[in-house]
Amino acid sequence: MPTIHRLDEVASTQQVARALLDEGAEHGTLVVARRQTAGRGRLARAWQSGEGGLWLSMVVRGSLPAARAPRLTLGAAALTLEALDVLGAHAAVKWPNDLVLPHAVPAARLGPWRKLGGVLLEAVLIEPGHLEGAVLRSAVLGLGLNVRTPPGGFAEELQDVAIALDTAGLSLDVDTVLGALAAPLQTRLLDVIDDTVFAGTLAFLRARSATLGMRVEVDGIAGLAERLDDEGALCVRDDGGVLHTVRAGDVQCMV
């Protein structure tokens, strides 16, 4: 199996994994840190990532049309849900990359959910193409999961948004969660390049979606999150009946 680099504290596991990729690290190489001092999520948002969470990044090497890169994010989300199922946590995905657990009190942007973690894919090498289009050769995949509630609780701005596995009644340590997740990510992530495998991944994510069937707002479009298309894009039908296909964006549930 590829190497797992375990570190005490880093600014960002993404940065370390990127450096290892540049040095020739093989696909599946993992960087795991006890703490991050400059963790981040999508849209350059800061991510509280102190001790008690699983903070990892993985070197990704492959060859797929760059337009299909979102498959890797969706595939990682599905593999994480499967690993959490084995551990006893029935989580869901808020499209496209937030891992969430149900909560009795609706929250702004999340509806009846709280954020457990998230997936972040950052492309490193994209080769330009002509007839076939650009090709993604390498990337760094980041994953963060709140395993235990931080000492003193989450930061004030996250108290009504975030949740940890221990809050949901699962007393697990970080190594246990890593043990359930590392091998599937290292050995199965690139399987989503195959259309048949990806179709199965989409079927699973549709069944485990925290977004479909919800009234949402994304990129100025408000309406019903109706379905995921065959490439995993979100289809939102607005109040005028027009169906919009959203390939990337920050979805907010309207409660």
Residue 196 host element (H or E): helix 195-207
- pLDDT given at position 51: 83
Q: Quick: pLDDT tens for 157-196.
A: 887 889 999 988 889 999 999 999 999 999 999 999 999 9
pLDDT of residue 111: 85
CATH, domain range 4-210: 3.30.930.10
Per DSSP, the residues of 153-165 read -S-GGGTTTB--T
Listed in order, the ranges of the chain carrying CATH 2.30.30.100 are: 212-255
CATH code assigned to 212-255: 2.30.30.100
Nearest CA-CA partner of 49 in 9, 15, 77: 9
Paired with 243 in beta bridges are: 237
Region(s) of the chain under CATH 3.30.930.10:
4-210
From start to end of the chain, where are the E strands? 4-10, 30-36, 53-65, 92-94, 98-107, 111-127, 135-146, 215-218, 221-228, 234-238, 243-246, 252-253
Would you write out the chain's pLDDT as a tens digit for each of its 255 residues? 899 999 999 999 999 999 999 999 999 999 999 998 876 555 455 556 678 899 999 999 999 999 899 999 999 999 999 999 999 999 999 999 999 999 988 887 888 999 999 999 999 988 886 556 899 999 999 999 999 988 888 888 887 889 999 988 889 999 999 999 999 999 999 999 999 999 999 999 999 999 999 999 998 899 999 999 999 999 999 999 999 999 988 899 886
Predicted pLDDT of residue 104: 84
User: Which residues lie below 8 Å from residue 108, measured CB to CB, with a gap of 6+?
Assistant: 160, 252, 255
pLDDT at 42: 52
